[in-house]
Amino acid sequence: MYLCATETGRQCLLLIASLIEQNGALDRIAYILRELKARADEVEKEYEVVKKGEKHFLNYDLEFPEVVDSFVCHEQGDRRIVILAFRNVEEPRSMVPLSNITAKDRRRVDLKTSAWILGKLLKLLVFAHSEEFAVGQMTGSNILIEPEKHYVVVFDWALTQICPGGIPIDQRRQNIAHAARSIVLALGGDPTKGIPDDPGCKDGFVRYADHILRLARGSESNAQRAHAAFYDLVEQIWGRKFHKFTTFPL
């Protein structure tokens, strides 16, 4: 993977197959991302009809990369190249893997930071599952965040499955559990043991920790229900207020 720029100067990421035999994997990534974008646009149009003039958008397409181009490069041994960008993010390097916070920076997020990250992940799963996409990787290394803009992106969709007729319940449950587990780990916790105290947020700690630990252990298989219940809890504890990205030492 390499940094590159378009003719207009837009900063992008260039993915190139290491072998010609891997062209199909990159072609699939481009196909999945374009399908997601097409479905997101359709859902947004449907939402415009019912929102009755409200200045509110679903913006599902902010939570997966944009395919800028995809082609076979003859000068590179007929290997496929896919060029990706992040919508509304000028500098791709500002997007960092969630797992880097604990693994590289040796820090952990606070509860309120974890709330906006998990909320966006559950929102993405509501969309993906409703459109019959079973997300392949919901791990901290594949979840990218832009701390200042509060963007959350699932980056690699190569293992995603399209399930006509509906996603099996076990896959839906696994997607939700993996999203919650990534948050438990970002909090410096362990899905099997618990979450450490948050020195800056005592209110509702036990309720919040118990809730996401249950999700991480597979308590929910319906993304829409999980998303609604999660935000109900967050509103009860803290209300819906902007909270800047905050971390503590591990």
Q: Which of 118, 138, 130, 122 is nearest to 42 (CA)?
A: 130
Architecture of the 95-249 domain:
Orthogonal Bundle (1.10)
pLDDT at 54 over 90: no
Give residue-wise pLDDT tens across range 234-248. 999 998 888 999 999
Q: What is the mean pLDDT of residues 81-86?
A: 97
Taking the C-alpha atoms of residue 211 and residue 76, their distance in angstroms, rounded to an integer, is: 50
Give residue-wise pLDDT tens across range 2-16. 999 999 999 999 999
Residue 129: what pLDDT? 98
3-class SS of residue 194: strand
Residue 53: what pLDDT? 66
Tokens of 61: 């397409």
Determine the Cα angle at 44 with ends 33 and 169, to 5°: 60
Q: What is the mean pLDDT of residues 92-103?
A: 96
Q: What is the mean pLDDT of residues 81-87?
A: 96
Q: Name beta bridge partners: 15.
A: 82
Give residue-wise pLDDT tens across range 145-193. 999 999 999 999 999 999 999 999 999 999 999 999 999 999 999 999 9
The full DSSP string for 18-86 is SSGGGHHHHHHHHHHHHHHHHHHHHHHHHHHHHSTT-S----GGGGS-EEEEEEEEGGGTTEEEEEEE-
Q: Who contacts 150 (Cβ-Cβ below 8 Å, separation ≥6)?
A: 116, 120, 245
pLDDT at 51 over 80: no
Its pTM stands at: 0.94
Contact 61, 45 (CB under 8 A): no
Q: What is the mean pLDDT of residues 107-122?
A: 97
